[in-house]
Amino acid sequence: LFCDKISLCIGSSKFIGNSSSLPTRIKIDTLRFCGTAINNIEDVSINHMIVNNSVTSVHGRDTGYFEDLIINTIEFEEPASISSIDMGFLYDTKVKELTIPTSIKIIKSHVGVINGLKKFIIPQNSQLEKWELNSDTYYFEEIYCYLPTPPTLKIPSNYRFTPIIYVPIENYSTYLSSPTWSKFTIKPIL
């Protein structure tokens, strides 16, 4: 089933996706979530996912079921309402670049390896306070953090990945003096 150039607007998801009776993956061009929570999405291909600013919760892979999910791009409408996010929901997606919503205060990453994500952006007006990294969670290459003050970063001792952190030149020395952020390569955005 392929819904070409169709935009679907759904409320809070209890389950979206394929069932064993359908022979092929469901394919949707644009899917807009308009409810309050996103969880339990499986065996579906979404070209562009829009998360409406009414959404207050995106469950992670450990609390919601996300499997065989292909998403090419995700856009969060601003002003967003999500205060925390578990990055496990990106486990099986194809998203290469993600800008987190400005409302996010806590990023959790406890389950799953996120392979496709190459560029992660924390916008200047972000409210991000804390980011918890799992030892095997991220393989992206670049983090663009536009915050003047580095958020608290919790890194396990066996963390092995080394993305390049890009920060505005006026914040460069602040990130270099941070005990956790300075463990990564930090480069100024000119």
pLDDT tens, position by position, 47-72: 888 888 888 877 655 444 455 667 78
Residue 165 confidence class, pLDDT cut points 50, 70, 90: very high
Long-range Cβ contact pairs of 23-29 (< 8 A, separation 24 or more): 25/68, 25/70, 26/1, 26/2, 27/1, 27/2, 27/3, 28/2, 28/3, 29/3, 29/4, 29/5
Mean pLDDT of the chain: 76
Specify the range with the lowest mean pLDDT, choosing from 6-10, 91-95, 148-152, 180-184: 6-10
pTM for the structure as a whole: 0.80
- Over residues 113-136, the pLDDT tens digits come to 566 678 889 999 999 999 887 655
**pLDDT computed for residue 113 by the predictor:** 56
Is residue 85 within 8 Å of 104, Cβ to Cβ? yes
Q: Which of 73, 165, 90, 178 is nearest to 121 (CA)?
A: 165
**pLDDT computed for residue 126 by the predictor:** 94
Specify the range with the lowest mean pLDDT, choosing from 6-10, 78-82, 148-152: 6-10
pLDDT greater than 70 at residue 92? no
Q: Which residue is associated with the tokens 């270099």?
A: 176
